[in-house]
Amino acid sequence: MNRHFAMLAAAAALVLANSGARARATVLTFDGLGTNTPIPAGYGSHVSAAGPALLKGNNFTPNVAVAFVPNGENGFQTYNDAEWRAAQLDGTPAAGSFDVVFTPDAGYGVRVNSFQFDDYANYAEGHTFDWSLLDAGGNQLAGQSEVTVDPDLTDDPTGADNLLINTGLTAFHPGPVTLRITPTAGDPFDRAIDNINFDQAAVPEPASLGVLALATGLLAVRRRR
């Protein structure tokens, strides 16, 4: 019994180690992708090296696909000029929201760490937003309501009318995770998001989770004895 317990405990430890190992991050900057054009197809997906508008976090995210919905007019658009290099939230989508969908490969999980809201300085400012992170079942993982980008409405000559949002997530989620942005006030064009930072990590397969559950149960039985 003791030998079997030791073997299961070792297997469980390996599962836990693998579930947190190989965490990697990519940052989407949108720099140089054009102005008033849709987000390029495949941008941000399966990133394994630095490239146009892609920065390395603690590593890269080769096992995560990214989609921008809707993309183009009344949706996400790239915007690059002397002040702004970001993903413009253009117009009003039919659904009222802008979604960035992160879909990890099987055996991997995704975690959205942070992103940035931008006002276009010297134009319309003071935009407010609701944001949320949703799992595949539509359950909210994190979020805030009525977030104001520039509450004092001051024009910054450096164009730094922006707000960094740290999501506070710690877990990696298998299956799609959606960053949903819903504008609630402000001009429908002079607003954007930027510097989207997200991670991937290997997560336990269902069979491995079964081993972990069995080992945990045996440990509980042994403690009771």
3 vs 150: which has the higher pLDDT: 150
Q: Please provide the DSSP assignment of 176-218 as one string.
A: -EEEEEEEEES-SSSEEEEEEEEEEEE---HHHHHHHHHHHHH
Phi/psi at 144 (5° precision): -145, 155
Question: Which residues, 6 or more positions from 199, have their beta carbon under 8 angstroms from its beta carbon?
Answer: 23, 24, 25, 57, 58, 61, 110, 111, 112, 113, 172
> Does the residue 56 lie in any domain?
yes
Residue 199 belongs to a domain: yes
pLDDT value of position 74: 94
In-domain check, residue 66: yes
Residue type, position 135, single letter: D
Domain assignment of residue 2, yes or no: no
Kindly state whether residue 222 falls inside one of the protein's structural domains: no
pTM score, whole prediction: 0.80
Query: How many structural domains compose the chain?
Result: 1
Planar angle of CA 114, 115, 118, nearest 5 degrees? 155
* Cα gap 181→114, rounded to integer Å: 13
The overall average pLDDT reported for the chain is 82
Confidence of residue 208 (pLDDT cuts 50, 70, 90): very low
- Domain membership of residue 43 (yes or no) is yes
pLDDT digits (tens, 9 = 90+) for 30-69: 999 999 999 999 999 999 999 899 999 888 999 999 999 9
In this prediction, residue 158 carries a pLDDT of 54
In a domain, 17, yes or no: no
SS3 46: coil
The pLDDT, as a whole number, for residue 19 is: 41
Does residue 15 register a pLDDT over 60? no
- pLDDT reported for residue 152: 61
Cis peptide before 62 (omega within 30 of 0): no
The 3-state DSSP class for residue 91 equals: coil
Query: Where residue 162 falls among pLDDT bands split at 50, 70, 90?
Result: confident
For residue 25, pLDDT over 60 is answered with yes
In the predicted structure, residue 150 carries a pLDDT above the cut 80: no
- Structural domain span for residue 53: 22-203
Backbone angles phi, psi at 80, to 5 degrees: -135, 120
Give CA 104 to chain center in angstroms: 11
Any domain includes 213: no
Q: What is the mean pLDDT of the segment spanning 127-137?
A: 95
Mean predicted confidence (pLDDT) in 4-27: 48
Contact, 61 vs 25, CB < 8 A?
A: yes
Q: Give dist(CA 162, CA 144) in Å, integer.
A: 16
Would you place residue 153 in the very low, low, confident or very high pLDDT band (cuts 50, 70, 90)?
A: low
CA distances from 117 to 12, 26, 49, 169, 174 (A): 41, 18, 25, 18, 26
CATH number at residue 33: 2.60.120
